[in-house]
Amino acid sequence: MPSFPSSGLRVCVCVLLIWGSAGCDNTARRLDDAVATASASGRAQAESELKADFDAGRITFESAMIRAEELLQADDPAAIPFAGAVLDLAVEIEDQFPTGGEFELFWRRLGRLAYSGAYAAYQAKRYDDADALVLAGPKRWQRESYWIAYPNHDILVALSLAHRGDARAGINRLQSRVPQSDEFGPAIESLKEIDRRQLRDRLRQRVEAEDSGG
């Protein structure tokens, strides 16, 4: 009987866990249901459905990730919560994912799903959703090599920090990155202006608080 090397066996097991072999028609129906749930009830409920279907072998993680990517490309209104649900599912089943260097593209796809979901949310002015998506999923994709390859995601994280009231942290994040992307310069200048406005707002609030308390 032929035998696999131990490393080859691990790769085969990981491939089955991620891509699997669920029936196409049934998988499509289950994903349709999860998308509808995301639209009607939100990210958390959709993730619960995805997890139950994954555990039962009715869907594969790859099928869920492809559906999220397709929804985002189509600007579907359900894309933002569904992408979040898929990224949350990834966190729950992370211990079943591969860690070898040969799967680096898989991890980068997770990072790009987080970026695409967050960018879509920003475009729709759903800023809280964008903040919740921009670093979503397992932390494994957040490697230095990823940030170097995708400076636009770094900028989106910095803008998210600014939206949450800490533009200075966004500036520091971009300024500390080596090498510096050409895209960082204009982004840093915009963040500096946001930082100045936030500082003025804090000073005004402090003066108003002192006046009302005096």
pLDDT per residue as tens digits for the range 7-58: 443 444 344 455 555 556 799 999 999 999 999 999 999 999 999 999 999 9
At 101 the pLDDT is 82
Q: Do 47 and 120 reside in the same domain of the chain? A: yes
153 or 3, greater pLDDT: 153
Its domain, for residue 150, covers 143-214
At 5 the pLDDT is 40
At 214 the pLDDT is 56
Q: Do 125 and 62 reside in the same domain of the chain? A: yes
Q: Do 120 and 182 reside in the same domain of the chain? A: no
Residue 64 lies in a domain: yes
Residue range 53-104, pLDDT digits in tens: 999 999 999 999 999 999 999 999 999 999 999 999 999 999 999 888 888 9
Instruction: Of 55, 54, 81, give the one whose Cα is nearest residue 68.
Output: 81
Q: Report how far residue 57's alpha carbon sits from residue 49's, in angstroms, rounded to the nearest whole number.
A: 12
Mean pLDDT calculated for residue range 140-169: 96
Residue 134 lies in a domain: no
Residue 73 lies in a domain: yes
| Local confidence band at 206 (pLDDT 50, 70, 90 cut-offs) | confident
Q: Do 103 and 178 reside in the same domain of the chain? A: no
Q: Do 83 and 114 reside in the same domain of the chain? A: yes
Q: Do 82 and 163 reside in the same domain of the chain? A: no
At 43 the pLDDT is 98
Residue 138 lies in a domain: no
Query: Looking at the 3D structure of the chain, how many domains does it have?
Result: 2
Mean pLDDT calculated for residue range 165-181: 96
